[in-house]
Amino acid sequence: MNILITGVHGFVGSNLVKALSPENTIYGLDIVAPEKDGIVKTFSWNDLGGIDLPQIDAVIHLAGKAHDTRNKSAADVYFKVNTGLTQRIFDWFLANESAKKFIFFSTVKSASDKVEGKCLTEECVPTPVGPYGESKIKAEDYIIGHFAPEALKRPYHNFDDGDSLVKGKNVYIIRPCMIHGPGNKGNLNLLYGVVSKGIPWPLGAFENRRSFTSIGNLCVVIDGFLTKNVPSGIYHMGDDEALSTNELIQVICEALGKKTHIWCIPKGLMNGVAKVGGWFHLPLNPLRMQKLTENYVVSNAKIKAALGITRMPVRAKDGLMDTIRSFKQ
C-alpha cells in the first residue's frame, strides 16, 4: 500500500515507519522534512492536494498538539492544530478516490478526563475537560459528521460501516491511552529521572491503576487496521494489563538494578506540594499529580475482537521495561 502519515517524524510516526515500511511505501506529511530511512518523501501541508502527491491508499493522521502538562499552551493552539489539521486532511481523504482507509489518532482524554467505574469503554458519553480533549473530540465529531452523521445523534457517537454515507472507505478513530516506547519523552521520563537519582518515590500512599499503550502493540493494531477487514468505528487502545504507579516504580528499579524506595507520605501533604509546584511551574504540579495517581483503566476488548485476537502481543510490563532500558542508553 501507499500510506501517507501526517506527523511522520514524531515518536509514534517514526515507529510506524519502522513497522510498516518493509511491506508498504511510506510518504510523510509534516512541518519538517528530514531524510529518513523508510520514508520515500515528506510533503508539507501546503502540498496537500497538489499534483505532485502520489496515489495514496491509506492515511494515518498523527499530527497534533500534544497535551502540555505545564499548562503553558494557549487554548486556541489546540483547536488550530488538533481540530483544524484534522479537518483539512479528512476533507482531502474524502475527495481522494484512491484513499480507502483513514486512521485518526485521537486520545482517551477526548472521551473522559476521569474514569468512573471499572474501566473506560467506547460506550461512554464523551465528556472531555480542557482544550486538549475538547479539540480532539471536536475533530472526532467533524470526521463522524462527514462520514456517518447519524451517529452524532447517539450519546456515544459510535458508528460503523452501516452508518456511512461514503461507500468504499473505512474510517477508524483510535483513542490510545499513554503511548510509550524507546525514544519516548514524557511522564515516564520524569519518573525515570526521579528514580534513577535514588530519590525515594513519595506517592506510595496513592493506590491506583492505569492503562498504558506499548508502541509494539500499537504498531500491530495499526497494521491490522490496514490489512484486515475491520469495521469502521471508534476504538479504545491500551495494553492488556493495568499497573499502579507503585508497580511502575518497581519496574523502573528492576530495569536499573536498584532497590525500590517508596514512601507513603499522607495524600493531603503531597497534594499541597503539587499545588505549590503549579504556582512556581515546577515538575510536580496538580495536573501531573493527577496523571500519576488517578485510576484510569481503559478497555481494549472491542479493538481485540475487531482484529480477531485474544491478547495483545506485548505484555505491559515487558513494554515498559523496553522503554525504561532505552532511557538508560
Q: What count of Cα atoms within 13 Å lies in the side-chain half-sphere of residue 89?
A: 32
pLDDT tens digits, 140-163:
999 999 999 999 999 999 999 999
Q: How confident is the model at residue 247 (pLDDT cuts 50, 70, 90)?
A: very high
pLDDT average, residue stretch 7-24: 95
Q: How confident is the model at residue 190 (pLDDT cuts 50, 70, 90)?
A: confident
**pTM for the whole thing?**
0.91
- The mean of the pLDDT values for the chain is 92
Query: Cell for 19?
Result: 513497522
pLDDT tens digits, 123-133:
999 999 989 99
Q: Report d(CA 16, CA 61) in Å as an integer.
A: 12
pLDDT tens digits, 251-287:
999 988 889 999 999 999 999 999 999 998 887 888 8
- pLDDT greater than 80 at residue 52: no
* Distance separating the N- and C-terminal Cα atoms of the chain: 34
- List Cα–Cα distances, 287 to 120, 165, 197, 280, in angstroms: 20, 40, 23, 13
The CATH class of the 2-184+211-240+297-313 domain is: alpha beta
- Strand locations in 35-157 (E): 39-43, 58-61, 101-105
∠ CA 248-73-244 to the nearest 5 degrees?
Answer: 15
Query: Cell for 158?
Result: 459510535
What pLDDT score was predicted for residue 69? 56
- pLDDT greater than 70 at residue 68: no
Amino acid (one-letter) located at 22: P
- pLDDT greater than 70 at residue 174: yes
- The domain limits of the chain are 2-184+211-240+297-313
User: In percent, how much of the chain has pLDDT > 90?
Assistant: 73
- pLDDT greater than 70 at residue 205: yes
pLDDT tens digits, 278-301:
998 887 888 888 877 889 999 999
What pLDDT score was predicted for residue 201? 86
